[in-house]
Amino acid sequence: VATLQGKIKALAEKKGPAFQKLKKEHGDDSLGEVTVNMCIGGARGIKCLVSETSLLDPMEGIRYRGRTLEECNQQLPKASATSKVGLPEASFWLLLTDEIPTDAEVKALNEELHKRATLPESTTKLIDSLPKDMHPMTQLSMGLLSLQPTSSFQKNYRSGTMKKTDYWVHVLDDSLSLVAQISPLAARIFRNVYFDGKHIPADPSLDWAGNYAHMLGVNNSEAFKDITRLYLMLHADHEGGNVSAHTTHLVGSALSDPYLSYSAGVNGLAGPLHGLANQECLRWLKNTHATLGGKEPTIDELTKFAKDTLASGKVIPGFGHGVLRKTDPRYMIQRDFAEANFPDDPLFKLANACYKAIPPVLEATGKVKNPWPNVDALSGTCMQYYNLDQEDYYTVVFAVSRSLGCMSNMVWSRLMGLPIERPKSVTVDWLVNHVDWS
């Protein structure tokens, strides 16, 4: 923890003067106008948030601290000499410090995470008592809330002795614990819902993601550990405006602690237009596969399925994006993995056919701004190949990963002393009275 703290502090000291100068000398500079459509259109395109950890380019995709995901995958330490996947906990280090950790630093981070991973009895009791048909994301959000009394930030704030300049230290402390606890919590929910509560003990010799895959207990292969590592690395962060990151940031801006904030973020991730799309997408693929009696679909058949989905008033899950304007690079990385490891899997073949059939259908609507697939169009397909085919659980895996980005951001928000978030809202009458009708 001391090493991590030292590195974060050093980076903040390096970046601090430019930030202060911006505030002092360019605080009134314009970043563009706000149009009526931006106001009524989900704030799309308004630059009104600072998120230090990553930046999304509509064409190129996400960069973690300036590095593309391909670069992260290459440069981040690996679990073994044979693995080609950058470790997600190493991306946590990168998001926090702007440095690629050494193997020794990742090992020390994993030891720290293992030490913090124990769930209090109050949490295990609560989770074990929940109805098995309660959605796993609801259970995860409740589990995170049940951990809130352990928050170091909350305790120190209450004691009245914590200085504003020390907020980030306690947020970092909580962030490490939350990231450590979320994987056993998520695994416990999985084993309760799908395996009658037969739990698999953690293996402290494994890395964070490898151990999570191990505790899920559906597949003992190194390949399943690797796809889990890849999934968790790719979904860690997607700048600050997506629903889960923005919600976590908003709630945290009221100085709610990391558990309260991330539980709220998880609730946003559970929506079908955001993280739940991975569950919906696999369900859509499975339905299509079953309706076709398991045979390989023609493009014409898929075009009809896609049109029927639109006609029934539903979105096609896994396609489109609020910012991206081409195929999500996270989709392409998963596709490369699938190509290399299970090119003949029927659902992968179906997903590939969808890649050809669906974009023209969406383009033909004339309104969809990005007809290309996003990350959720393939993540479930990758997981089901390794026996994780309980699609209602998929968004939990997303949430385990997104904790890395949301928590890193929260540390930086408190470090920069960002204020409570409070954008201005207006009424439709106000808009009517303020536009130029001439």
268 binds ligand MLT (CB under 6 A): no
H/E element holding 67? strand 67-68
Query: Three-class SS of residue 56?
Result: strand
Q: How far is the CB of 337 from ligand MLT (least distance, A)?
A: 18
Among 65, 225, 238, 249, contact with ligand MLT (rule: CB under 6 A): 238
Q: Which residue is nearest to ligand MLT (CB)?
A: 242
Rule CB under 6 A: which of 285-324 touch ligand NMX?
A: 310, 315-322
Helices 222-234 and 394-415: angle between axes, nearest 10 degrees:
40
Q: How far apart are the C-alpha atoms of 220 and 117, rounded to whole Å? A: 21
Q: How far is the CB of 23 from ligand MLT (least distance, A)?
A: 27
88 binds ligand MLT (CB under 6 A): no
The Cβ of residue 191 has, within 10 Å, a number of other Cβ atoms equal to 17
106 binds ligand NMX (CB under 6 A): no
Q: Which residues are CB-contacts of 77 (< 8 A; sequence separation ≥ 6)? A: 86, 87, 90, 100, 101, 102, 103, 106
Contact (CB, 8 A) for 130 and 192: yes
Q: How far apart are the C-alpha atoms of 354 and 373, rounded to whole Å? A: 9
Q: Which two tokens stand for residue 42?
A: 């989900």
Q: How far apart are the C-alpha atoms of 278 and 297, rounded to whole Å? A: 21
Q: How far is the CB of 319 from ligand NMX (least distance, A)?
A: 4
Query: Three-class SS of residue 62?
Result: strand
Please work out the total of residues on this chain that contact ligand NMX, with binding judged by CB under 6 A: 21
86 binds ligand MLT (CB under 6 A): no
Q: Which residue is nearest to ligand NMX (CB)?
A: 320
H/E element holding 8? helix 2-25
Q: How far is the CB of 266 from ligand MLT (least distance, A)?
A: 13
45 burial via Cβ count (<10 Å: 0-12, 13-18, 19+): middle
Q: How far is the CB of 272 from ligand NMX (least distance, A)?
A: 7
Q: Which is nearer to ligand MLT, 184 or 359 (CB)?
A: 359
Q: Which stretch binds ligand NMX (CB under 6 A): 1-9, 226-234, 371-379, 419-427?
A: 371-379
In the shown chain, the binding pattern of residues 314 to 333 toward ligand MLT, with x for contact by CB under 6 A and - for none, equals: --------xx----------
Q: How far is the CB of 14 from ligand NMX (least distance, A)?
A: 32
Q: How far is the CB of 204 from ligand MLT (least distance, A)?
A: 30
Q: Which residues are CB-contacts of 15 (< 8 A; sequence separation ≥ 6)? A: none
Contact (CB, 8 A) for 164 and 417: yes
Q: How far apart are the C-alpha atoms of 271 and 403, rounded to whole Å? A: 16
When CB distances are held under 5 to 8 angstroms depending on the partner's kind, the choice from ligand MLT, ligand NMX, none that residue 50 binds is none
The dihedral built from the CA positions of residue 388, 389, 395 and 396, taken in this order, carries a sign that is: negative
In the shown chain, the binding pattern of residues 322 to 341 toward ligand NMX, with x for contact by CB under 6 A and - for none, equals: x-------------------
372 binds ligand NMX (CB under 6 A): no
CA proximity to 382, closest of 321, 329, 333: 333
CA proximity to 316, closest of 373, 392, 366: 373
Q: Which is nearer to ligand NMX, 237 or 376 (CB)?
A: 376
62 binds ligand NMX (CB under 6 A): no
Catalytic residues, by residue number, are 274, 321, 376
369 binds ligand NMX (CB under 6 A): yes
Interacting residues toward ligand MLT by CB under 6 A: 238, 242, 274, 322-323, 374-375
Provide the binding-site residues for ligand NMX, judged by CB under 6 A. 273-275, 277, 310, 315-322, 362, 367-370, 374-376
